């Protein structure tokens, strides 16, 4: 059974609850922008999007990248997830597919690995 259409007030409330739970990590919505309405209307036509909004919001904090905890190029250093990003056509699909999550089998973070690499290099010299 499909979830009914999401209103701008509902999505704003859900988004801002996430922002309140993780202060400074995401851009809070003070007022739903008129330019976002066409995006919301388009997303509301997608049953999968509506049905997975709550789960997708729960998955955002699982991503070190989305939480701003990974190094970024200077161009994106100040970027944080915001409502416009969340309303893009593929964002919920990417969140639900785990595209932003780190796998348990990925290589260790280079910041954590650096001291070990330096020690190894010193032993080889």
- CA–CA separation, 104 vs 98, rounded Å? 12
Confidence bin at 106 (pLDDT 50/70/90): very low
53 contacts 14 by C-beta, under 8 angstroms? yes
Residue 35 is classified by DSSP as G
Residue with structure tokens 């939480």?
67
Quote the pLDDT of residue 1. Answer: 60
Quote the pLDDT of residue 18. Answer: 97
Cα dist from 51 to 16, 31, 54, whole Å: 19, 24, 8
Q: Which of 32 and 69 is assigned the larger pLDDT?
A: 32
Q: The pTM is what?
A: 0.78
pLDDT in tens, 35-53: 999 999 999 999 999 999 9
Q: Where are the domains of the chain?
A: 8-124
What average pLDDT does the chain have?
Answer: 86
Confidence bin at 77 (pLDDT 50/70/90): confident
């Amino acid at each position: 059974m499909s979830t009914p259409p999401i209103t701008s007030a509902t999505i704003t409330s859900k988004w801002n609850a996430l922002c309140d739970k993780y202060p400074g990590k995401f851009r809070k919505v003070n007022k739903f922008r008129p330019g976002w309405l066409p995006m919301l209307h388009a997303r509301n036509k997608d049953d999968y999007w509506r049905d997975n909004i709550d789960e997708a919001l729960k998955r955002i904090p699982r991503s070190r990248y989305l939480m701003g905890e990974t190094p970024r190029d200077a161009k994106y250093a100040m970027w944080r997830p915001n409502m416009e990003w969340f309303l893009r056509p593929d964002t919920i699909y990417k969140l639900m597919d785990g595209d932003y999550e780190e796998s348990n089998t990925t290589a260790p973070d280079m910041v954590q690995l650096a001291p070990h690499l330096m020690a190894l290099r010193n032993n080889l010299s």
